[in-house]
Amino acid sequence: MSGPLPLAARCHAVRVRTDRSPFPTTASVWTEDVPVPAADPLAERRRAAELARPATGLRRVLLRFADGLCDLILVAPRDRWDRTALGRLAAGESVATETGRPVAEAPATALAPMWGLGDDGSAVPHLFSLDDGGDEASWLAALAVTLRRYDPETTPVIGTDHGSFTVAEAPTLGELTPSPVDGPALAGLLFDETELPGAYVPCLAPPFPLTLSVFRDSDGWRLRCDHVSGHLSTEVAAQFTRHLVRVHRLILSSPRTAVDDVDLLDGAERDRVAALGRPSRSLATTPVTVPEAFARIAAATPDRIAVTDGGAGLTYRELDARSALLAHGLRDRGVTPGDRVGVCLERTAELVVTLLAVLKAGAAYVPVDPAYPADRLAHTARDAGLGVVITRLPEFPDVAGCVPVTPDELLETAAGPGVGPVLPTAVAPHATAYVIYTSGSTGRPKGVEVPHQNVIALIDATRDEYGLGTEDVWTWFHSTAFDFSVWEIWGCLLTGGRLVAVPYFVSREPDRFHDLLVSEKVTVLSQTPSAFAQLLNVDHTEVGVRLVVFGGEPLDARVLLPWFDRHPESVCRMVNMFGITETTVHVTAQTLTRRLALDATRSVGRALPGWHLYVTDPAGRLLPPGVAGEICVGGAGVALGYLGQEELTARRFVVDPFTGGTMYRSGDLGRLRPDGRLEHLGRIDTQVKIRGFRIELDEIRAVLLEDPDVRTAAVVVRRVDAADAATARIDAYVVLSGGDPGTVRKRAADFLPDYMLPTTITSLDALPLTANGKLDTEQLPVPAAPRASARDTVPRTADADVTERLREIWSDVLGVPVGLDDDFFELGGNSLFAVRIGAALRAQGLPSLRLRELYRHPTLREIVRTLAA
């Protein structure tokens, strides 16, 4: 205002009619002289202070400045006065209840959206100038489109001064029409097309978690964004508002644009978001083969122990020599560069020698677990075209063209007379080093081809960051059929460390594994979160590891708090890595702290040097930070593709739009944070992770459907304990034309490895469907309990008390009644449940039960006899 005295007097004359006003009558306006011009920074601070001061009723303040200008500031409770009434009051008009009406109570607000990242504790407002104000309908439409892009699974409800609205989906922007609706509103629109004497400023808490105010002032149309810090971060709120303005501009200028064609990001922002997914430092690497890299280490430290297996050990010199002899034996068997050689051996030093030998022969190794069912072994041999498989299995499946040989037979050939020095067969760094098979949605596993240079890049990306070197002792905990073993074996041997082979049963018994960590003085430990959770159940004070790397499945960081209590961050570094077989084990890394654990962080960190990632929508467009979409990975780790599956390779390995290289569409759901860290949110499709193994539920379903008694089937994953990932189990539902669930499960066991075998199979008359004909997983009944015999009476013998206590423990862990002759594994038991049973036995002072004994004697009656002996 100008002219302080007349206007001040006029403000004093403003009255609110007492007969219908919701407020007590108060005619006075607090007047205060500010001894600076209105444009002075002190004046701006005074205005801001008055606007931010709460009011229980209507509060009027007149600030008079030294240059003859005044500010009239009106503050009132939002749920009782609307903006138009305050504007008219500021203009000096008499305001009755009809205009200064109590307004309707604001609609309920929605819960904080995941994309809001509302954890920065600040709520800085944002102001944007607009070319055109449009109208309320156009802004409602723009808000609906933007909200749907941020959360496609939720129908947007938008609050306004006069109720809530939604906007039904339509083909083009011009056809979007708002309609009234009930429901909680996340975003609210406050639209005023009449120029008011003063700009409206939402005071303290906005009426909606995300409040967009469109108004006119002396500078033209403006858009103001206010937000609640617990719902949205300041950066995401500003980003959302930019996208809203972009969509609204399109609605006004190009109403015929298809809604599905709207891209939230312009060219500059696409480049900025793409840069977020790149690492903070570049990768320095020289592509070589794994045998070449190993040869350098062996030459530098020939007498250092390379592999420890029980009480025996191999030096780098011995490992180099033995693998060279085995490679010679493979050549004599007709193995040539580019061939694929199967390796089906137990986790021992001999297996490491064999893997290196295959690579030295110029071939690619194809690891399969000896515990796999015969059908799965046979499928891998056929699909990979194996001419040779190195195994000690007495009855490896008979596959045409595939010859099983033992390591001894290969060494006998290589040790014959006249054998000279054996040199590695030269292959290019981009040649395939290994093919690891992962679960496939078609019902059969699919092989992933990974070249030598990818493995070298992984080591070069991590060596310096984690100080990997010759003083380190690594555990080899995982099956070679699981790509975590690639990191363990070659991460150790290509940095000069000592690799400790962990026997299978030791890996499944936390107390024995603890003893191995202490006795071998292990410094680098790689674990799935499920396995590490079991280690936390024993006293780990003496464990002296300096680096723990997590991978294979999502990590709930809160489980690490007991570890931090005994192993400070300055002594032991905890790193959570997200990775995929198709991108060479690891993609990102997040160093975890106690604070991050307390915050239950879902961050898996930034991309490793040489790797980069994007988050995209179903159309392949980049999504802004905070918005969930498919994780796509490019860079040094991208595999060559799926063996013999050109169509699937073309769908999943696509052109990187920013580099022109190849990127992998992972099928994993995630979101980028504004600092470039990735949050992993699970799977988009039917793929899951259980105890580190990647499983396609459709593969299990396909095996069930091959049973002639099964008409249709569904497979889901549940947790026995919602807070414990280790209790995840697979439940199947079938509609049968004959037979029973027990026979169906037995047949499935002939084709599926134990970690993919459903814990329960429930027979239904029909599968529940949604209105659009899809499986309704919410309506699936509680799974039928695994078969358990009647609770037969325990014989009154000297072991009766132990038997009854053991039965109670089994029943508690398995969640079903247990009979004396019920098979532990048929009741849904697995190695993790066995660990819990062992811990419960020790807690009650009973003899410890080793997993090996449980496999040999899987019933209560047999176990009691074993314990008695």
Cα(351)–Cα(779) distance, integer angstroms:
47
Q: Sign of the C-alpha dihedral, residues 401, 407, 408, 412?
A: positive
Helix (H, G, I), strand (E, B) or coil at 611: strand
Cα(567)–Cα(573) distance, integer angstroms:
9
Residue 576 Cα to chain centre, angstroms? 11
For residue 819, the model assigns a pLDDT of 83
pLDDT per residue as tens digits for the range 448-458: 999 999 999 99
Averaged pLDDT for residues 111-116: 89
Residue 638: pLDDT over 80: yes
Most confident residue range from 17-21, 507-511, 623-627: 623-627
pLDDT per residue as tens digits for the range 645-682: 999 999 999 999 999 999 999 999 999 999 999 999 88
Residue 11: pLDDT over 50: no
Angle subtended at Cα 689 by Cα 448 and Cα 467, rounded to the nearest 5 degrees: 75
Q: Is the distance from CB of 670 to CB of 678 less than 8 angstroms? A: yes
Cα(736)–Cα(497) distance, integer angstroms:
55
Give the Å distances, CA to CA, from 30 to 33, 58, 88.
Answer: 10, 12, 19
Cα(679)–Cα(602) distance, integer angstroms:
5
For residue 837, the model assigns a pLDDT of 82
User: Using 50, 70 and 90 to split pLDDT, how confident is the model at 514?
Assistant: very high
Residue 792: pLDDT over 50: yes
Q: CA nearest 603: which of 533, 500, 679, 658?
A: 679
Q: Is the distance from CB of 60 to CB of 90 less than 8 angstroms? A: no
User: Using 50, 70 and 90 to split pLDDT, how confident is the model at 296?
Assistant: very high
Averaged pLDDT for residues 619-634: 96
Residue ranges with strand state E in 557-625: 573-578, 588-592, 603-607, 611-616
- Mean model confidence pLDDT for the chain: 86
Cα(323)–Cα(463) distance, integer angstroms:
25
- Structure-token pair, residue 242: 């930019």
pLDDT per residue as tens digits for the range 31-43: 888 999 988 988 8
Q: Residues 6 or more apart from 378 whose CB is under 8 A from it?
A: 397, 398, 399
Tell which wins on pLDDT, 554 or 269: 269
For residue 195, the model assigns a pLDDT of 54
Q: CA nearest 509: which of 235, 854, 758, 22?
A: 854
Give the up-direction half-sphere exposure of residue 101: CA atoms within 13 A in the CB hemisphere: 7
Cα(597)–Cα(547) distance, integer angstroms:
17
Angle subtended at Cα 664 by Cα 659 and Cα 667, rounded to the nearest 5 degrees: 135
Q: Is the distance from CB of 816 to CB of 827 less than 8 angstroms? A: yes
Residue 223: pLDDT over 80: yes
| Count of CB atoms situated within 10 Å of the CB of 43 | 20
User: What percent of the chain has a predicted confidence (pLDDT) above 70?
Assistant: 86
Averaged pLDDT for residues 514-531: 94
Could you tell me where the DSSP H helices lie in 105-179?
A: 136-150
The continuous run of DSSP H or E covering 224 comes out as strand 220-227
Same fold flag, 290-336+344-408+424-554+564-672 and 687-779: no
Residue 727: pLDDT over 90: no
Q: Is the distance from CB of 443 to CB of 426 less than 8 angstroms? A: no
Angle subtended at Cα 601 by Cα 595 and Cα 604, rounded to the nearest 5 degrees: 115
The continuous run of DSSP H or E covering 64 comes out as strand 59-65
Check whether domain 290-336+344-408+424-554+564-672 has CATH 3.30.360.10, yes or no: no
Residue 98: pLDDT over 60: no
Sequence length of the chain is 869
Averaged pLDDT for residues 389-396: 95
Class of domain 800-868: mainly alpha
For residues 45, 49, 50, 55, the Cα torsion angle rounded to the nearest 10 degrees is 170
Averaged pLDDT for residues 714-727: 69
pTM of this prediction? 0.80
Check whether domain 114-264 has CATH 3.40.50.150, yes or no: no
In the DSSP assignment, the letter for residue 110 is P
What is the residue extent of each domain of the chain? 4-90, 114-264, 290-336+344-408+424-554+564-672, 687-779, 800-868
Fold of 687-779: GMP Synthetase; Chain A, domain 3 (3.30.300)
Residue 284: pLDDT over 90: yes
